Amino acid sequence: MAATSSSAQELPFISVNDSAYSSSLLTKYKAKYNDGLALLPKDNKKAWEEVYKLRWESIQAIFNKTEIYSPVIARQYLDALVAEITKANPALTPQNFQAHFSRSGIPNAHHLGEGIILFNMGLFKRLDNESQAAFVLCHEIAHFYLQHSEKSMAQYVEALYSKNTQKELKKIQNTEYGKRQQVEDLMKGLSFNSRRHSRDHESEADSMALEFLRHTRFNIAEALTALALLDSIDADTLNTTALLPKIF
């Protein structure tokens, strides 16, 4: 889903966290990350390793701040929904992804990479029915299936080593003053965010999510309701951001 931000409390959903469960997950995902390192492209390998590490560090931070909502009943419910979607869509087997509830109150969901999907409780509580929840999961599974995170990393590395970027860097190197600031300004336009997907990626994920949902028992019409809700949430966030400077 499109990323939203909030200065409000991010982890308002209290639970007795299962530290052993979170630790076992982190160990599993760290092993997957290490396996992935060995498979990175050899061209521009250093840049690939750096961006891959950035993605992993953002994942690790989720576990370090105990964001995973870990009550057994919540885990079983989400696992059952994912299993039902996967069973109805043979293209998703074997299932190399896993969904987790997040304690974040921000109404959003993410595919973080490494097959990890986060479904924020702040979004889940605003949905009206299970079909809407299934569509949200289908959307994030689509990001995984279509390898959007990996494609974003590839685009980043390609842009970093493009002729235009290298030309700008050489030009900056030949200037006498303000080299550091110029490099920082150039890099800002090339920054990588593991949670941000492009508009094209979001549209692709929506289309693929509808196909996944179509094969299940869930009401496909609820996908439109869920999308309308997400659009209204984004609008509320944007309006609040615009109003804050006026208020203060």
DSSP 215: T
Question: In terms of pTM, does the model score above 0.75?
Answer: yes
Residue type present at position 65: K
- At 48-96, the pLDDT tens digits run 888 889 899 999 988 888 889 888 899 999 999 999 999 999 999 988 9
pLDDT at 88: 97
CA diameter of the chain:
65
pLDDT at 22: 84
**pLDDT by 10-residue block (mean), the chain, 248 residues:** 50 68 90 91 86 90 86 94 97 93 91 94 94 96 93 80 59 55 50 58 93 96 89 49 34
Rounded Cα–Cα distance for residues 41 and 33 (Å): 15
If we measure between CA atoms, which residue out of 56, 66, 74 comes closest to residue 116? 56
Rounded Cα–Cα distance for residues 68 and 54 (Å): 20
pLDDT at 191: 52
Pairing of the two strands 98-102 and 116-120: parallel
pLDDT at 161: 67
Sheet holding 98-102, edge to edge: 98-102, 116-120, 109-113
- Angle ∠(143,148,153) on CA atoms, nearest 5: 150
Burial 158-191 (b: 16+ CB within 10 A, else e): eebeeeebeeebeebeeeeeeeeebeeeeeeeee
Tokens of 133: 């929840």
pLDDT at 228: 86
pLDDT at 163: 56
